Amino acid sequence: MLVREPRAQEGLSEKLPRVVHRLSVIMKPQVVFVLGGPGAGKGTQCAKIVENYSYTHLSAGDLLREERSRTGSEFGQLIDTYIKEGKIVPVEITINLLKKAMEETMKVDEKKFRFLIDGFPRNQDNLQGWNTVMDGKADVKFVLFFDCSNEVCIDRCLERGKSSGRTDDNRASLEKRIQTYLQSTRPIIEQYEKQGKVHKIDASRSVDEVFADVKNILEKES
């Protein structure tokens, strides 16, 4: 038989701090960063994760594209230029969009505290911005790294470019995006690797084969 006598006699003032503490632990955003080259399949795999697990997908690129087309945005022109040039937008802009999206998600449903943050952090500036703004406010659990060759990345984006309408799915932008990825994003992945936080997945295979690995990782991590 369970004996819970001391707690049964507790008043609200004794219970409350424990309840508040539990809630704040439960509700602290749990983050998985999703990284890899352009066209590696990050968005595709995130969509499949959302179908099967309780995660909210936030693509930093999608948030920037939305901000670019928002009427009255003071950053529209800047974002447009950076995206076409395959350059990384200053973190002050991106982190505010991410933070707002996370807060809004949790405001609508407090149980939605697991996030896949796709395509971020992409460079040292991004990482520093995240650490400054989100330190203590969110836990980065691990990184899903979708690894595939530059050629596969470029071919997939060019194919996607036939219908995506994206201004950066063309060969000129892609050459720059790949350079940015190799020079700025790979070092970030390496930093997380040193912390033992990276799950590297061979993303050159079929969507289902890649997802089978993703599922194994998520089952082990949960």
Ligand X SMILES: Nc1ncnc2c1ncn2[C@@H]1O[C@H](COP(=O)(O)OP(=O)(O)OP(=O)(O)O)[C@@H](O)[C@H]1O
- CB atoms under 10 Å from CB of 112, counted, come to 16
Give the angle subtended at the CA of 107 by the CAs of 92 and 12, to the nearest 5°. 120
211 binds ligand LLZGTKA7 (CB under 6 A): no
Residue pair 137/28 in contact (Cβ under 8 Å)? The answer is yes
DSSP E strands: which ranges in 3-91? 30-36, 56-59
DSSP E strands: which ranges in the chain? 30-36, 56-59, 114-118, 139-147, 198-202
User: Which does residue 94 bind out of ligand LLZGTKA7, ligand X, none, counting CB within 5 to 8 angstroms by kind?
Assistant: ligand LLZGTKA7
Q: Which residue number, 93 or 203, has a Cβ lying nearer to ligand X?
A: 203
126 assigned ligand-binding residue: yes
Q: How far is the CB of 141 from ligand LLZGTKA7 (least distance, A)?
A: 19
Element (H, E) at 69: helix 60-69
User: Which does residue 36 bind out of ligand X, ligand LLZGTKA7, none, counting CB within 5 to 8 angstroms by kind?
Assistant: ligand X
User: Which does residue 129 bind out of ligand X, ligand LLZGTKA7, none, counting CB within 5 to 8 angstroms by kind?
Assistant: none
Q: Which residue number, 110 or 209, has a Cβ lying nearer to ligand X?
A: 209
User: Which does residue 88 bind out of ligand LLZGTKA7, ligand X, none, counting CB within 5 to 8 angstroms by kind?
Assistant: ligand LLZGTKA7
- CB atoms under 10 Å from CB of 74, counted, come to 9
Residue pair 48/146 in contact (Cβ under 8 Å)? The answer is no
Site size toward ligand LLZGTKA7 (CB under 6 A) is 18
Q: Which residues contact 147 (CB under 8 A, 6 or more apart)?
A: 36, 37, 40, 200, 201, 202, 203, 204
Q: Which residues contact 156 (CB under 8 A, 6 or more apart)?
A: 39, 40, 41
Q: How far is the CB of 153 from ligand X (least distance, A)?
A: 8
156 binds ligand LLZGTKA7 (CB under 6 A): no
123 assigned ligand-binding residue: no
Site string (2-41) toward ligand LLZGTKA7, x via CB under 6 A: ------------------------------------x---
User: Which does residue 210 bind out of ligand X, ligand LLZGTKA7, none, counting CB within 5 to 8 angstroms by kind?
Assistant: ligand X
- Helix residue ranges, H only, 135-196: 150-164, 171-180, 186-194
Contact residues: ligand LLZGTKA7, CB under 6 A:
38, 59-61, 64, 82-83, 86-89, 94, 119-120, 122, 126, 168, 177
Which residues sit in the known binding site for CMP?
126
